[in-house]
Structures are given as C-alpha cells and as structure tokens.
Structure 1
Amino acid sequence: MLESVCDSLWRASAPEGPKLAPLEGRHEVQVAIVGGGFTGLSAALHLAQLGLSVAVIEAQEIGFGGSGRNVGLVNAGVWLEPDQLDKTIGADAGRTLYNTLADAPELVFSLIEKYQIQCEAVRHGTLHAGVGKPGLAQLQRRCEQMQMRGAPVQLLDTAEAQTRIGSSKFNSALFDPRAGTIQPLAYARGLAKAALKEGALLFDHSPVSSVQPSSEGWIVNTPDGEVHAQKVVLATNAYSEHGVKEQARKFVPIFYSQLASQPLTSAQLAQILPNGEGVWDTCTVMSSFRLDQQGRLIFGGMGGEGGVLSNWASQRVSELFPFLNKVEWAYSWSGKIAYSEDHLPHCQQLQRGLFSVAGYSGRGIGPGTMMGKELAEWFAGKRDALSVPTTTLRNIPLRELKRLFYEVGAHTYHLGQKTHAFD
C-alpha cells in the first residue's frame, strides 16, 4: 500500500487535471518552481496574477505527492499550541505567523469560489476530538489560548461532542467554524487550471536532474529541457527525490495512510458527522475521519503498514460506530508528511535566489496555499518578509532513526490497540 496511487479514492473521484506535457527545450522565466503541490501551484497562480513569468516543473503529475494524498482538512493555524508557538519563535513572530495562518481557510475557500474549483468544498468546520483526561486538558489549553487570540472556536462538552461526532468514545471536541473539508487532489488540479488561466507555464512528468547557478540566476535541468530563472523555489516538501535530495535531510518523513469505505446508508449517515465536519483526535498516534460527498467514511492514521493498519482501522471504527457492523474498505492509499524539528513550516534561502519551503507537519492545505501567495507577493515586492520562519535549517541528526521511531511506534500502537483504544 505504500505510495500506491491506484487505490486512492481521491484519484478515483477527482475531475481530470489539465492536459500538460513534459518540459522540452529551453524556457526563460522570472521564477521556476519545482513541485506541483499546494505551495508550488499557489505560488505560480499568484505570481502570474501579479504579472511575473513563472514555470512549475513536476516530476510526476499535478498533486502526485502529499497534496494529492491529503486527508482534506482545511484547518486554521499550525500544529503547535499558540503559546508554544510564541515560545519557539518569539512572541512577535508567533503572533504574525498565527494571524496569517488563521486566515488560511478563508484564502483556500475564496480561491475555490473565484475559480469555480470542483473539489467537494464543505465549510462546516472541523472537530478536534478529545480522548481521555490528557486529551481534554489539551483541548482546554488550546481553546483558551486560541480564544485569547480572537479565534471563534468553541469547546464542546461530552454530550455535544458525542452528538456532533456520532460516537460515545470522545469526552470533548474543539470546534473551529473557520475550517472545512475538500477533495485535496481535485483542489490541486483546480489550482493548476487556475494558474494556467492566469498565464503560468506548467510541465509534468519532468523530474529535475539538477539545479545549477548561472550568471543570470539559476538553471533547472530535466532530461529533455531546461528552465532559466532569476529565482527558484523548491516546493517538494516530503517528496524530495528528484534533484533536491539534499533538502530531505531537513525534515523527517512520516507515512500517513487512509482507507475509504463504500458509501454508507442514509440511516448511517444521519448518525455520523451529521453536520459534515472533519475530525482528528488527540491520541499520540493520531487518527482522522470524515465523509465525502458520496457518503463514504474516510479513516486515516499514522503509519503505512498495509494489512496491520487496515485491521486496526476496522477495529477502531467498530468501536467508534458499533452500528456500522463490519466496514468494507473500497480504497486505501498512503502519503508522506514532512515533520520539521519544531513542527513549523519554514522558508529557507539556500543561496541567493534559491528558496525551499517545507515542513507543514500534516497541515499542508491552508499553510501551503498561504505560503505560495506570500512568496509571490515577496518576489513581486509587495511585502517585506514572509510570515514563516526564514532561518537556515540544519540537517536533522539521526534522521532515519527518528523516521523508524515514528514508524515502529505507530506499527506497535496499531498492533496493540483492541477494545482499550479509547480508554
């Protein structure tokens, strides 16, 4: 199941993407972007809107990486609790980043509306579901800190949380009405169409072999062509296999797998998430679930262990929603998340005119879209700086061991979780 695309619900249900061709010959633009995911496509769209020439170079197809394998939760903010964010990068920088990403869902849904992107957009909020006393305490902290910063969030008590989710296994939930759900691959393909409409160049099936400095900027080389640009943005996130392998050492890649059921019955849908929110829980080995517009239950968890995760997911769903009986999984797929050491996104200027943006730690839709827009504005002279940290990142020591730690931990957790999963 690892990195499989054949069994992805998103690929099965997304509208077709734009008809692109591999890069051939020589092209000259002001900005070249390596990677056709949320960040790269948003940057291309907004650069073209601002009148800058731009080319996106994708090794596979639009949305092939994490953007097309995403859970589809459009959340506000970052992974860290707001107070921890301030401690990590300082109060002023923390406030700037928090406020910027608080507006990220609004940007995503406004682009969907403006360009009429068909991506099953539902803006009914998300629910961060509490498990056990530690989970409740975490949500209480988050709610207080977010409300102090003006967020319209609400901490639901046990009764309301269980009613909104449709399960008795949670003791609370933090509701954020700014958020929502989308079909992520459809959104990526829609961004690509919008970027083309605004005048950007997009090339797929063009793996980058090298990025080399030149007298006028940079040259991005592929097997059959090259792009000459004043600036280059490496927007591959956890998928740094082609020409940008050195960036992979800055982040720990974590697998996240998902399964989708056959469409549920109307009676079942009346009980599970009747308001259409997306959910993720407070467990150390996090899981998520949501519905699509065809009424399929989509359940995800950290790790990529094929049958082990499928068995765990079936057990977990039977505990969450015992009235479903045995769930038949119709689709299964995996993707990679790029975790930075501080769990924050970063933009690095590796050399003059060469930039890298990555490290969304599982929150790629809103932050990726927003960072693409900010990069475009920065390059166009419309802003003085980015909202994300711009410090140079060091290579993560023992990166492979840390990756194995997460993977083995998730595997052990999935093997060991039976009826006590929500104790």
Structure 2
Amino acid sequence: MPTPLSERCLWPQTSAETPLDYPALASHEEVDVCVVGGGITGLSTALHLAEKGIKTALLEAGDIPSGGSGRNVGLVNAGLWIPPDDIVAALGKENGERVNTVLGGAPSKVFNIIERHAIQCDATRTGTLHLGHNTKGCQELARRRDQLQNRGAPVTLIEGEACERMTGTSQIHAALLDKRAGTINPCAYTQGLARAAAKLGATLYCHSAVTGIERQGDRWRVLTQNGSVTANRVVMATNAYTEDDWNQVRQHFFTGHYYQLASEPLTGDAADAILPEKQGAWDTRTVLSSIRRDKAGRLLLGSLGKGEGKPLSYLTRWADTIQNHYFPALGNVRWEYTWTGKVAFTPDHTLRIFEPAPGILSATGYNGRGVTTGTVVGEGFAHYIANGDDSLLPLPLSQPKPIRARPLWSCAYESGFSLYHAGQCLRVLI
C-alpha cells in the first residue's frame, strides 16, 4: 500500500486551542516593552509582563506558532540536556547549580500556567523516561540518577520486568523516570500562551517581521515594513529562528534540526503496551531517538537531523527500523505526518542569557529544552524588567563571546546525524 506520509506538522492538526488571528503592525506604537518573536519565550515574557500591568507589544514574523515552539516533541523536561554535574563543570559551581535549581523547577511552572489559564494542550504529568539502549547507556542513567537524587530530584531508575512493562519494549533494560516532567501538544500550549497574554492586555502582531532596531534617545525603535514600535526595553526572543544579520542573537548559537514522524492512530494490545502511562521518552543513543504517543494513540518517533529535503521513503525506512526494533509486535505501521524544527545549539550544551545593548534582553541556546526553558526565561525577563532583579532567570545576565565558525558547527552536526541515521537504516547501528 502506498505510504500516506505527508510533510506537515501533526500538532496544529490536533490542537484543541482555537487559533486566533492577530493583525499585522501597520502604524506606530508606544509601549513599555517590545518583544520580538512569538514563540514560547516571547509569549511567556509578554504574558508575565501583562500580568504585572506593563504595556507590551509583541511582533511575530509569521503566525503563532510558526517556529520550533509549535514543532518540537512536546516534552516538558526538567533541567538541560546534559547531566547536572556537567552543567556545573561548564558554568562553574554557582551558576551551574543555579541552572540546576531553576530549570529543575521549570516543569511545575509550565503546568501551573496551563492550569491557571485553562490551556487545552493535552498535558500529562506522569513524567518522562530516559531509555538505556545498551549497557553503556544504562550506566549513564545510573550516573544521572545519582547526581539528580543528590540534588533532591524525584527520579527513579526502573529496571528489568518493571522497565519492560513501563516502556512496552524488551530492548530497554533500564529507564530513568523523572516524575517532575510530562508531555503537551506544543502548538496548543503556544497558542494558549498567546490567548492568555492577549486577554491580559498584551498587544500581539503577526506577519510583522522586524527589519531593524535603532536607538532613539534613551529608548529603542523597532522597525517593521509597515510600522514601528518605540519601547523602553526590547526582548529578542527569536532563538533558533534568528535569521537577520543585524540581530546579535544569531552570533550565539549554531543551527541544528530535529525531525519527527507520526503514525496513524493505533489500537489493540500491541499499541496499548507502548508507554501505557503516557510518558514521553528518548534513548541514550549517540544520536537519540524520541518516542511518545499522542492523545489519539499515534506513535511519534523523532531524531536529531533535518528531515526536510530527504525522500519520504528514506524517512519511512528510518521510522520502520526504529519501530521494528523497539516494538515489533505492532507489525507494519502507516506513517501519516513528518516535519522538522530548528534547534539552537551551543558548543557546551548550555544556554546563554545576555544584554547585547542597554535595554535589550536576549536568550538562546536551549539545546532542545525549549518548552520549559523558554517558559522560565520569559518569566525571568518580566521579573527583571519590573524589579531589576534577575534571580528568576536560570543564569545571570552576561556578555558572552560570539560562537566562532557557526556554519562549520552546523555542518558537522548535520553530517554526523545523517551518517548515523544511514547506519540505522542499514541496520548497522541498531
């Protein structure tokens, strides 16, 4: 049977949040804060500013959402991608432990916002599972468990038969359960943030790409093709979708990608055995594979790398290989959706929060943890603007050096991901 696979993102198709139309900027506005970027970071900033009664305008180049905020896996994870001791090694003890503490509490911030504003995003709070795919991977999970438990995190290493029951596969012998975490439909979450921010008084503009920023006395003028916004403060929340050379955020990350495939809705005993408690999961492979189910029972598989531009038959072959390895009892699966999002990487896998010029705030380098990090950074920016206190941010504001040879970093990562996936398709790396 021909594959029904098409290149479109699943999440907007299944979002229970009604997408709202926001106008394009076509005049001059005067506000306290202008936020550039309508993803999770920008919308969280606008929402928390609006809660404080601070007059805010947000400018988004496309629709809400159009970037990675609506295209990611939808994992509400605690912390960063790397273990807490590695974070301390990269950032120093004080800043490293600050990141561990603030981002360790980030999932609860997300779920509190969802509850407070009645965001319909299919949220689950049963945790996430980090899957040990081989002996070395299981050893790494034990190391992470020890580091996290030493910091009071509610994590448990599940092994043996209990692990097989929780994951639905005999190929995983240990899984690290983080009870702080969960899953969402990220598009619906982003749409809900926009709805809540607008309801509280923030003014949102879509199809209003910023063409430049210029100093105007002690304020900033943010320019678009058909209008402008003058503000005391500007928050640059463009992250991995920063494209313009004038935007200094671009100098502080290199671009990576993440692709996903979603099956048709699955039913029956074999399907019900996969992640029966609805945790999101990812494995310890060199180039990880993510695994989760959606509210309709679809199986979602994803991995680092760019799916756009690759033949659909190649993507299907990769998904079939991973599915047959982990869940052979499913038999043949029909894949319906595939899509790719961008990721802002940094060489040390930690984020950057900085002030490129007086009155301008920026953040980037979430390294695949955008749902929680973006939410917390937005709250932290709003608190800093209102109170002059950066304590709610994962890191203090700094002046990091630009990343050198960013295109080479991107090329090296993408080449490595593609070679690894080719090996998986050939069953060399399974």
Normalising by structure 1, report the TM-score: 0.96
Most deviating of 387-396 and 169-178: 387-396
Task: Give 3-state SS (helix, strand or coil) of 1:190's partner.
Answer: helix
Aligned counterparts of 1:251 and 1:286: Cα–Cα separation in 2? 20
| SS of equivalent residue, structure 2 residue 197 | helix
Offset of 1:190 from its aligned partner?
0.2
CA deviation map 1:372-421 (0-9, x unaligned): 00110111006344332533232222211111111111111111114454
- Give 1:270's aligned residue: 272
Pairing of 1:192-207 with structure 2 (within 5 A)? 192-207=194-209
Q: 1:216 deviation in Å?
A: 2.9
Aligned twin of 2:420: 413
Q: How many residues align?
A: 419
Contact 1:208–1:243, Cα closer than 8 Å, also in 2: no
Please state whether the residue corresponding to 1:333 is helix, strand or coil: strand
- TM-fit CA distance, 1:121: 0.6
Secondary structure of the residue aligned to 1:263 is coil
2:106 aligns with 104
Q: Distance in 2 between matches of 1:334 and 1:245?
A: 23
Distance in 1 (CA, whole Å) between partners of 2:260 and 2:400 is: 30
Q: Which amino acid in structure 2 is aligned with residue 7 of structure 1?
A: R
Deviates more, 1:5-14 or 1:97-106: 5-14
Contact 1:210 1:244 in 2 (8 A): yes
Query: Corresponding residue for 1:360?
Result: 366
Match of 1:117 in 2: 119
Alpha-carbon distance between aligned partners in 1 of 2:62 and 2:402, rounded to the nearest angstrom: 26
Cα distance in structure 2, aligned partners of 1:97 and 1:220: 31
**Counterpart residue identity of residue 50, structure 2:** A
Q: How much has 1:158 moved relative to structure 2? A: 3.1
Q: Which residue of 1 aligns with 2:37?
A: 35
1:396 maps to 2:403: yes
Q: Matched residue of 1:288: which SS?
A: strand
Q: Which moved more, 1:390-399 or 1:335-344?
A: 390-399
The letter for the 1-side match of 2:180 is R
Cα pair 1:207 1:243 within 8 Å, conserved = no
Where does residue 382 of structure 2 map in the other structure?
376
Q: 1:287 to 1:244 in 2, by over 3 A?
A: farther
Which aligned pairs between 1:234-273 and structure 2 lie closer than 5 A?
Answer: 234-242=236-244, 244-273=246-275
- Note the C-alpha offset of 1:242: 4.5
User: What runs of 5+ residues in structure 2 fail to find an aligned partner?
Assistant: 1-5
Whether the 8 Å CA contact 1:309–1:414 is kept in 2: the answer is no
Report if the CA contact (8 A) 2:252-2:364 is conserved: no
Assess if the C-alpha contact under 8 Å between 2:39 and 2:190 holds in 1: yes
The answer to whether the 8 A contact 2:381-2:390 is kept is no
Q: Distance in 1 between matches of 2:305 and 2:360?
A: 32
- Residue type at the aligned position of 1:147: Q
Identity over aligned residues, as a percent? 42
* CA deviation profile, 1:27-54 (whole Å, cap 9, x unmatched): 0111111100111000100001011111
Q: Report what 1:146 is aligned to.
A: 148
Report if aligned partners of 2:420, 2:429 keep a CA contact under 8 Å in 1: no
User: Could you tell me whether the CA contact under 8 Å between 1:67 and 1:184 is conserved in 2?
Assistant: yes
Rounded to whole Å, the distance in 2 between the matches of 1:382 and 1:179 is: 30
Unaligned runs of 5+ in 1: none
Match of 1:186 among 185, 188, 208: 188
Residues in 1 aligned to 2:389 and 2:398: alpha-carbon distance in whole angstroms? 18
Match of 1:326 among 332, 344, 348: 332
Measure the CA separation in 1 of the matches of 2:337 and 2:157.
Answer: 33
> Alpha-carbon deviations, 1:236-262, whole Å to 9, x = none?
110012475442232111110001000
Match of 2:169 among 167, 170, 192: 167
Aligned mate of 2:355, from 336, 339, 349: 349
Q: Secondary structure at the match of 1:187?
A: helix
Q: Aligned equivalents of 1:356 and 1:67: distance in 2?
A: 17
3-state SS of paired residue (1:95): helix
CA distance in 2, matches of 1:340, 1:168: 35
Is 72-81 or 339-348 further displaced after alignment? Answer: 339-348
- 1:339 paired to 2:345: yes
Determine which of 288, 297, 303 is the counterpart of 1:295. 297
Shift of residue 92, structure 1, vs aligned partner: 1.8
Aligned partner of 2:11 in structure 1 is 10
CA contact (8 A) 1:26 1:227 kept: yes
Distance in 1, matches of 2:180 and 2:123, equals 13
CA contact (8 A) 1:207 1:242 kept: no
Q: Distance in 2 between matches of 1:316 and 1:421?
A: 11
Q: Once the 2 structures are TM-superposed, how far is the Cα of residue 309 of structure 1 from its aligned partner?
A: 3.3
Query: C-alpha separation between the residues in 2 aligned to 1:30 and 1:160?
Result: 54
Q: Bigger CA drift: 380-389 or 72-81?
A: 380-389
Equivalent in 305, 321, 326 of residue 315 of structure 1: 321
Asked if 2 retains the 8 angstrom alpha-carbon contact of 1:257 and 1:335, the reply is yes
**Residue 170 of structure 1: how far off its partner (Å):** 1.3
Structure 2 distance, partners of 1:243, 1:10, is 31
Question: 1:348 Cα shift?
Answer: 1.0
Deviation at 1:13, TM superposition (A): 1.3
1:228 to 224, 230, 234: 230
